[in-house]
Structure 1
């Protein structure tokens, strides 16, 4: 929850910058003990994070309303939105909700 406010910033509002959303992050399989690990991710936090990123591109020309989803299926790093045993399809539903909540502002 703490990291969400730092992932997107006002730089993402620039026409030549595209925000990235991440559902979770655990780089320890590759970086070991010095890895960054973001814990406590939930579909609700991911929906809030996605909505924040979307709000930062809505004023841009249509061809620049781009958001990257980082590693949507990187299971080894805990960075995925595919259905799992803990949350089912809730991360996918959260992304869908964020997109459709802002559908008047963006091109789907």
Structure 2
């Protein structure tokens, strides 16, 4: 039994040392995927988040440097209409008072199709 312990303990220690050895560093990192929502001016977008004001006038949504119209607001969602803008990708930010969100990217399509969505009234 003593001989078995003398054999097992050193083997266990060696295995632990190799298990804790750092792996080779890979200098190449995978590029971060950028999520971009796309649409046209006049489309309606529902933005999910938290901390929004229930007073729609206290929420500011900007597509690039163009302010969007906030149609409805709850603490978790904003319904906005995409403002006119030239074709391309712009950052979308939401501000409530002095607090501002991280930007989300929005791509304006070059088609002139206007999509409409029926929103049921809240009770």
What is the TM-score normalised by the length of structure 1?
0.23
From the CA coordinates, give the structure whose radius of gyration is larger: 2
Highest RCO, 1 vs 2 (Cα 8 Å, sep ≥ 6): 1
Which has the larger strand fraction?
2
TM-score norm. by structure 2 comes to 0.21
